Homo-oligomer: A and B are copies of this chain.
Amino acid sequence: MAVARSITSAAENNGTIPDRVFSLLREAIVEGDIPAGSKISEPELARVYGISRGPLREAIGRLEACGLVVRRRNVGARVVTLSSTQLIEIYHIREALEGMAARLAAQHMSAEEIADLRSLLSQHGQQIERDIDHAYFQREGDLDFHYRIVQGSHNAHMIDLLCNDLYHLVRLYRYQFGMSSKRGPRAFVEHEHIVDAIERRDAEMAEVMMRAHIRASRENVERMLKGVNRP
């Protein structure tokens, strides 16, 4: 990794130091640049970023609040290693929260937001047809979609919860487990059905479809974890 040459002189010079270093560390952790289970050394990172340990500790504290690192007293912080049970737990939470988000989105999304969502979906459809960047769709494209639905809920607390915390954990898991099931096309169809329901302002159906979508994803993961991939 290229030296992080004095974070204060970085392009985005707005925001406080903990803000910037928090974002940087979060991205580094989520994308696997800092391996799972590895130690977060305060002196080392302070040296790397050219800052003092004070702001750094605040950034690490926020990472802990997100669930991306775990801290032990007088020992330090380590990047979390997601267990399979933790993964399933997150899926259950997503099923509940995003189901509600879809319900609220059906009630509150503006026509423009829905149109944008449709165009995003059509992009995904083209990607699937051409089979380009299949892995990428699996990873970021899927989250893009869910991200928009959550935004559409217009529930600030829910947006914060999912977009600032949970989704980063999801991304971390995807990098850690490197999963890329063949659910891509199937997931795409489910996405379409969800948007259909939102467009019809059918809140009940939107929630049901979203929950089914996430539940299917969870069950898929559960099958893979059990190693029961019968051909």
Contacts and interface: CB of A to CB of B under 8 A. Distances in A.
A157 B100 contact: no
Given A16-B73, A58-B57, A100 B104 contact: no
Copies in the complex: 2
Contact of A158 (B93, B99, B100): B93
A96 B155 CA distance: 13
A97 B57 CA distance: 31
Interface residues of A, number: 26
Contacts of A95: 100
B58 A89 contact: no
15 contacts: A16-B73, A57-B58, A67-B157, A86-B157, A89-B155, A89-B157, A89-B158, A92-B100, A92-B104, A92-B158, A93-B97, A93-B161, A96-B96, A96-B100, A161-B161
